[in-house]
Amino acid sequence: MKKIATLSAAAITAVLMTGAANAASPSTPAASTNAPVAVQTADVTMVVSHGYAHLRKDPNTKSQILATLKKGTKVDVLEKVSGGKWAHVKTDKFEGYVALSLLKAA
């Protein structure tokens, strides 16, 4: 079962990376800031795969915790940020960021 979850996460990453490559435009200037890069997704549904995951205001571990999501909680992934380490997600009540390593394909 773990192998399937790993393959699913790899497949999602591949889709996200392909979408980012297709979205690039040669007429768009490259960003010169150190701001996190966001990769748009098509509302991929994932679930919390660990005992819990903190939903945070910003994509870092020092950011304010908006909610604690229990294992099995479904989230809609809006985009992938910070080099693919965080997911911008939406739940029924909240919108924020969860470490991507704490999520798996639904």
Cβ-proximal residues to 40 (8 Å cutoff; 6+ apart), any chain:
19, 20, 23, 78, 79
Structure tokens that stand for 40 in this block: 């748009």
pLDDT confidence of residue 84: 87
pLDDT < 70 stretches in the chain: 1-42
27 exposure class (CB count in 10 Å sphere: 0-12, 13-18, 19+) = exposed
pTM of the model: 0.62
> What does the pLDDT look like over 68-86, one tens digit per residue?
999 999 999 999 997 889 9
Q: What is the CATH number of domain 2-105?
A: 2.30.30.40
Domain locations in the chain?
A: 2-105
pLDDT confidence of residue 82: 78
Structure tokens that stand for 75 in this block: 């989230």
